[in-house]
Amino acid sequence: MKALNSLLAATETTIFTVMSALATAHGAINLGQGFPDTDGPEDVIAAAAAALLDQRNQYPPLAGVPELRAAVADANRRFYGLAVDPAREVVVTSGATEAITACLMAVLDPGDEVVLIEPLYDTYLPVARLLGAVPRLVRLSPPDWTLPRAALAAAFGPRTKAILLNSPMNPTGKVFSADELGFIAGLLQRHDAYAICDEVYEHLVFDGHRHIPLMTLPGLRERVMRIGSAGKTFSLTGWKVGYVTAAAAIAEIIAKAHQNLTFTTPPNLQRAVAVGLAKQESYFASLSADLAARRDRLAAGLEKFGMRVLATHGSYFLIADVSALGFPGDDVAFCRHITEAAGVAAIPVSAFYASGPPENYVRFAFCKRPEILDAAISRLATHFARQSHAPAALTGAK
């Protein structure tokens, strides 16, 4: 039989699914795939339950229910001072994952160049390639992941159509600074390019850092697509409700992509997310404060037995350099090993690179209950205490 789509056939199952399955198989604490271990706000969940029972279970409007589009527009004004027309400038999607694909579809023609920043989230590259676009990769370097301005400028050229920017960034926890965003803005204007901004962690920012949407910079309102996710903002990752804010002319094309991907998103969940976006400031503030405390708890625990934890200012991930533990293998082997032998799953950071990745970094999710974080630390500490003088024996038992 004829070969199936070559790009998809060559795409591996996402590392998040692979590591979650391994964690389940070994009864490991799952600090790999990023999902909280407690559900989001009760009032939002109750709103979804009520919305299932009031006779609005047929196809909602293509671009989203009016309640959620209005709530997204209001949130843009409230948090960032952006004036958004809910009827023409908001498109609701089935998760940010669909939003990313829909935005790339809306912008890219085959042969267009798209600038991507490594380490990168795992859907960016396959989707860009499926669309026939040419990825131009720019790499950030640990430990501080500063934007390499000369390399970024060199990645832009006459065929550049767009940049895909993730801030706050998975897996690094980097929050792009006003200065870095200003530099990117200059490139976009100079090269007449668009920006697709994956801002799913917009409300998970710590230590006085501030998330600045690129869309708020002078002159960029018409060039930027801003993506949010209810899964992250309300700790309801299974709901898959995302939302894009963009100028009407762009939103119209994104809606055409959405029409051909999923067409609509469950109306009940959309209405509940509208309730969530209207929550008081204290909800958003405590989300960040609570996560920052969990980050500190996990980081302190990991550092006690030799991991070097890099600073993380946003998202719910931290990266640890595991070189000092003397493990005789790369990050992929390390993550398999700790899942199987120590009972704690994590994600190898090399999964966020297209090629030639660093092999000594591991990502841990800290969006878990404090007692679960403590249990994970204790399992790892016990394991490495046994192993620390005999690194060659690290493939041993629990």
Q: Which amino acid is at 103?
A: C
By CB under 6 A, the count of residues binding ligand GLN is 5
Encoded one letter per residue, x for contact with ligand GLN by CB under 6 A and - for no contact, window 160-199 reads ----------x-----------------------------
Q: Tell me how far apart the alpha carbons of residues 319 and 144 are, in angstroms, rounded to a whole number.
A: 11
Q: Which 10-39 positions form the footprint of ligand PMP (CB under 6 A)?
A: 34
Q: Which 158-197 positions form the footprint of ligand PMP (CB under 6 A)?
A: 166, 170
Minimum CB distance to ligand PMP smaller for 241 or for 335 = 241
Using left for φ > 0, alpha for ψ between -120 and 50, and beta otherwise, residue 240 falls in left
**Given CA atoms 250, 97, 267, 315 in this order, what sign does their dihedral have?**
negative
Q: How far is the CB of 18 from ligand PMP (least distance, A)?
A: 15
Q: Does 235 bind ligand PMP (CB under 6 A)?
A: no
* Residue whose token pair is 């209950």: 369
Answer for the pair 15, 348: CB distance below 8 angstroms, yes or no: yes
**Cα 216 off chain centre by:** 20
Minimum CB distance to ligand PMP smaller for 60 or for 242 = 242
Q: How far is the CB of 179 from ligand PMP (least distance, A)?
A: 22
Of 46-54, 65-73, 92-100, 183-191: span binding ligand PMP (CB under 6 A)? 92-100
Q: Which 17-36 positions form the footprint of ligand GLN (CB under 6 A)?
A: 33-34
Q: How far is the CB of 35 from ligand GLN (least distance, A)?
A: 7
Q: What's the DSSP call for residue 351?
A: G
**Given CA atoms 378, 324, 12, 243 in this order, what sign does their dihedral have?**
positive
Q: What's the DSSP call for residue 238?
A: G
Among 32, 64, 95, 276, binds ligand PMP (CB under 6 A): 95
Answer for the pair 187, 161: CB distance below 8 angstroms, yes or no: no
Q: Which 58-117 positions form the footprint of ligand GLN (CB under 6 A)?
A: none
Encoded one letter per residue, x for contact with ligand GLN by CB under 6 A and - for no contact, window 221-240 reads --------------------
Q: Does 16 bind ligand GLN (CB under 6 A)?
A: yes
Q: Tell me how far apart the alpha carbons of residues 253 and 269 are, in angstroms, rounded to a whole number.
A: 24
Among 121, 316, 327, 334, binds ligand PMP (CB under 6 A): 121
- Strand ranges in the chain using DSSP code E only, listed in sequence order: 29-30, 90-93, 113-118, 134-139, 160-166, 194-198, 224-229, 242-245, 308-309, 317-321, 344-345, 347-348, 361-365
Minimum CB distance to ligand PMP smaller for 121 or for 361 = 121
Tokens, residue 340: 């199987």
Q: How far is the CB of 33 from ligand GLN (least distance, A)?
A: 5
**Cα 285 off chain centre by:** 20
Q: Does 312 bind ligand PMP (CB under 6 A)?
A: no
Q: Which does 95 bind (CB under 5 to 8 A by kind): ligand PMP, ligand GLN, none?
A: ligand PMP
Q: Tell me how far apart the alpha carbons of residues 146 and 141 are, in angstroms, rounded to a whole number.
A: 7
Q: Which does 96 bind (CB under 5 to 8 A by kind): ligand GLN, ligand PMP, none?
A: ligand PMP
Which positions ≥6 away from 164 have C-beta within 8 Å?
100, 104, 114, 115, 116, 117, 120, 124, 128, 195, 196, 198
Answer for the pair 211, 199: CB distance below 8 angstroms, yes or no: yes
Among 237, 245, 270, 360, binds ligand PMP (CB under 6 A): 237
Q: How far is the CB of 243 from ligand GLN (least distance, A)?
A: 16
Which positions ≥6 away from 92 have C-beta within 8 Å?
63, 64, 65, 68, 69, 72, 241, 242, 243, 265, 270
Among 89, 198, 321, 331, binds ligand PMP (CB under 6 A): 198
By CB under 6 A, the count of residues binding ligand PMP is 14
Q: How far is the CB of 32 from ligand PMP (least distance, A)?
A: 12
Instruction: Please give the residue ranges that form the binding site for ligand PMP (CB under 6 A).
Output: 34, 95-97, 121, 166, 170, 198, 200, 229, 231, 237, 240, 242
Binding site for ligand GLN (CB under 6 A): 14, 16, 33-34, 170
